[in-house]
Chain A
């Protein structure tokens, strides 16, 4: 198709506008391409001279920082396992059993999970966690994340399971399988792609989260990276720029890797609806 002159002009104008917006979005992040590899990095943009991995070596040598990454991993993996397991079972029950009022249940859960969120939810959660004596433990952080993420995870998975024909499990049961066997041996392998989506989504949410561990944890050796990163500020509150830059990059890597994995495997559309 040939473009008329005004159409061509409009297309060039649109491309230029999109490019400018893209540059504006990238500007605050460009600094991260250079600073981690610059042993003398400051808050300004400077091409490293020479490029070096010195900052990363210092981070790897910092026990508290590495401990933070490990804690992030413990809390994220713990939360993800709990969310994925409980949500899969529950979504399967909501899809395949005829428990009365199950659509109301899904509706009410979604309603509450969007109402009880953020700082407002942290006041009662803090009091509940401290009254059962779980303050300042990994398990408290994991349980609170799991409770908050479960309704959405159940919703995603239920949608997914509803789309799978019941005949799969029915034929297994005709062949003599018990309902539980039909679930584990027949349904579970078919649901797996849906579980992958929930796992990635929950991991990214917990890994990046700041507020919940910030409020529920006190000890330095339990802090995840999102809170531990503040150890790279001096007493006066000025950041140790070189370490912060390198640590931020390491800490962001899993999120970026998972994002690339999802967009490669499922395309953009999946990630679109399911964050937060």
Chain B
């Protein structure tokens, strides 16, 4: 008993002993703190401040902007124009649909399907398929944008070549179905992340579970539904929150469509860019930024509280 207490005391003492003094620790932290402070923390508060002004790039309001209260926000939420193409509400709804279809349905389901298929197919085929999926994810966005521009070209593009070869009608999809193009594009671009996350999740399940199911004669679908999916539930939630946040902020479709034709692919990030950096209405652009950041904040808080709960569960 006595020895035990002494040992535990020694252990707590050891835990409290630190290699770096406070002063040395602060010096080590300083460069990172300065950079993050100026380029991450300060912008967060700055954008809130600017959103209450009528700041512009040129003219009188560039140097001495006026305080306009909530006017920028009233403009964004003006019911008369809210749902009009090229306005805030239209972009917000478009972005919601984009996230639902391309991230939650497209990337997550396709990633899950791919990860499950990877468990059973021959290793050589697995490598080839993985390479194709991951290539779509790691190549620089402008390269990907150009590849898709060529792929979708009406006269010579690979897609229309295949459609004509199959006797199907060709189409100028960037003009006719721009929204579905960016949905499929984003699914294609980002499925790799979900696939890899689910792949490592499935790999962490003890193989004996599946072997037992095999002995009982379970089908692949039964194994997926009754063993695979329930055991990776935590990973699914992590994946859904992360890809939602990334897709919500993604700017890459701009490279493919420029937000057009006639605002039909103008996601919130692209709308924000146009207001702030094409029309140079910084006040209104900042107000859009504040709303985007608030939505990000909600998702980030959900994610972090979920991660903490999981960490606690592991500790216990």
Contacts and interface: CB of A to CB of B under 8 A. Distances in A.
Interface stretch (A48-56, A58-66, A111-119, A189-197): A111-119
Contacts of B219: 10
B184 to A, nearest CB: 10
B39 A144 contact: yes
Interface in A111-138: 111-128
B289 interface: yes
Contact of A115 (B137, B255, B296): B296
Chain A's interface size range is 35 or more
Nearest to B275: A123
B208 to A, nearest CB: 14
Nearest to B277: A215
A103 B282 CA distance: 35
Nearest to B284: A123
Given A90-B31, A119-B249, A123-B286, A99 B26 contact: yes
A125 B129 CA distance: 40
A147 to B, nearest CB: 3
A273 B139 CA distance: 17
A252 B24 contact: no
A86 to B, nearest CB: 4
Contact of B39 (A21, A110, A125): A125
B21 interface: yes
Interface stretch (B12-20, B100-108, B225-233): B12-20
Most chain A beta carbons < 10 A, residue from B32, B139, B159:
B32
A46 B50 CA distance: 52
Most chain B beta carbons < 10 A, residue from A26, A43, A86, A96:
A43
B129 A146 contact: no
Interface string B99-136: 00000000000100110011011100110111011111
A28 B35 contact: no
B93 interface: no
Given A29-B147, A272-B197, A128 B140 contact: no
A112 B47 contact: no
A136 to B, nearest CB: 14
Contacts of A14: 117, 120-121, 220
Most chain A beta carbons < 10 A, residue from B20, B249, B277:
B20
Contacts of B19: 96-97, 166, 169-170, 173, 179, 182
Contacts of A150: 32, 35-36, 40
A26 B32 CA distance: 40
B139 A111 contact: no
A124 B46 contact: yes
B158 A93 contact: no
26 contacts: A10-B220, A14-B120, A21-B110, A21-B117, A22-B125, A28-B136, A28-B158, A43-B156, A43-B157, A44-B156, A45-B161, A85-B31, A96-B19, A97-B28, A109-B40, A116-B44, A117-B296, A119-B272, A120-B288, A120-B293, A123-B50, A124-B289, A150-B40, A166-B19, A255-B138, A259-B138
